[in-house]
Amino acid sequence: MQHVEVAVIGTGWCGGIRAETLSRSALVDKLHICEIRPDRLAEVKAMTSPASATLDYQDIVKNPNISVVYVCTTPEQNHYPITRDCLKAGKHVLLEKPIAMELWEADELITLAKRGRLKFTIGYSQRFNPKFAYAKKKITDGTLGKVVSVMVSRHLSRGLGAKIAKRVKLSPVVMESTHDLDFVFWLLEPAKPVRVYSQGAYGYMQAINGSYDVMWSIVTMDNGMMVTVGGGWNLPPSYPNFCSTWIEILGTEGALVLDDTHRDAWLNTVAEGTRFPMSTMPGEQVDHVFAGQMGPETIHFLEACIMDRPVMVTPESARMVMETYTAADLSAERNEPVELPLSNAALSAVAEMVGGKR
């Protein structure tokens, strides 16, 4: 069995999950971790017993023995430069979403990966949700006939939303609906988006980072299918779970409804009342098993690198998602539909919009 040396750069919430998952894998010869916070570095070091632990990601880049890197850093502005350096050093990279902050950055990363014949993927872990994989199967095998429409409604708790919103000035369509755009476009392949119309509503989050509480986007595909995606991060503090998702897929020969509201496990205590445990999007370690999508996704990428298999999420598909949610932000700002791919005039308008918000 082939073993590899693997590194995780950024060991916060998601990076910590990946580091712990990799530390348990027989495919990993040596694990290396990097984190800029000394206290968190010490915590993850104690949990995973890595071969090395560093505060400087360049130590990872310069280590020729490390062949696979998971880039899990925040804020999201760090994604491009760190991933660029890892790819230039000849390392396979799994990068947490978003792929970049600017489309040209995404293009450069894709080019570097192709030039170096490297595996490069984006952490859209929802493709590893068994319910969503089942939907892909039922569409592919023709059970639903021709898909007519897909609707996704995803909402996060206010506490989790505030945690995300405080670190970066990005909208809910960029930070949350991005997952849904990815897996819906995956379901509907080879169709591609050609038009986006989006609206947003302000509320609790406006004072925190100036963003909408919720955004709804209608995406028209090039074969006429309609996609409606809603995402928000302002469920009240008393709401019993972290993330609640409802999906409806309608076809000419059938319909499929997916309940991912995590109501399958109820916990009620005197101290906290009713809670739906294991309801975060990435999942969590539960004793000897992992409940969620991020654990299997982490190992899948490692196996793709070792066995030279295709990655589940291509960087090109992640770029298409990025262009779509960029168009959604512009649409909400302009209060009008935006055509895809983005024209030069639209890209100029996006730059002005982003510059104004910054």
For the stretch 182-197, pLDDT in tens is 999 999 999 999 999 9
Per the structure block, which two tokens stand in for 97? Answer: 């979403």
Half-sphere exposure of 194 (CA within 13 A, CB side): 9
Say what the pLDDT of residue 159 is. 83
For the stretch 258-293, pLDDT in tens is 999 999 999 999 999 999 999 998 999 999 999 999
The Cα 38–Cα 133 span in angstroms is 39
Assign domain 127-281 to its CATH superfamily.
Answer: Dihydrodipicolinate Reductase; domain 2 (3.30.360.10)
> Is the confidence at residue 89, as pLDDT, over 70?
yes
For the stretch 281-334, pLDDT in tens is 899 999 999 999 999 999 999 999 999 999 999 999 999 999 999 999 999 999
**Span 118-127, mean pLDDT?**
97
Beta-carbon contacts of residue 272 (< 8 Å; ≥ 6 apart):
none
pTM: 0.95
* Residues 193 and 153: beta-carbon distance below 8 Å: no
**Span 219-229, mean pLDDT?**
98
Rg, C-alpha atoms of the chain:
20
CATH number, span 4-118+302-312? 3.40.50.720
Say what the pLDDT of residue 262 is. 93
Per the structure block, which two tokens stand in for 352? Answer: 């002005």
User: Residue ranges of the domains in the chain?
Assistant: 4-118+302-312, 127-281
Half-sphere exposure of 39 (CA within 13 A, CB side): 0
> Is the confidence at residue 202, as pLDDT, over 80?
yes
> Is the confidence at residue 1, as pLDDT, over 70?
no
Q: Give the chain's end-to-end CA distance (angstroms, integer).
A: 50
Say what the pLDDT of residue 232 is. 93
The Cα 303–Cα 310 span in angstroms is 10
For the stretch 56-69, pLDDT in tens is 999 999 999 999 99
Say what the pLDDT of residue 137 is. 98
> Is the confidence at residue 102, as pLDDT, over 70?
yes
The DSSP-derived string for 160-200 is HHHHHHHH----HHHHTHHHHHHHHHHHTTT--EEEEEEEE
> Is the confidence at residue 358, as pLDDT, over 90?
no
For the stretch 124-174, pLDDT in tens is 999 999 999 999 999 999 999 999 999 999 999 888 878 777 766 789 999
Higher pLDDT, 239 or 357: 239
The Cα 73–Cα 95 span in angstroms is 9
Which one-letter DSSP state was computed for residue 240? Answer: S
**Span 217-224, mean pLDDT?**
98
For the stretch 12-44, pLDDT in tens is 999 999 999 999 999 999 999 999 999 999 999
Say what the pLDDT of residue 170 is. 83
The Cα 53–Cα 169 span in angstroms is 30
CA angle 10, 304, 81 (to 5 degrees): 35
The Cα 165–Cα 157 span in angstroms is 12
> Is the confidence at residue 357, as pLDDT, over 70?
no
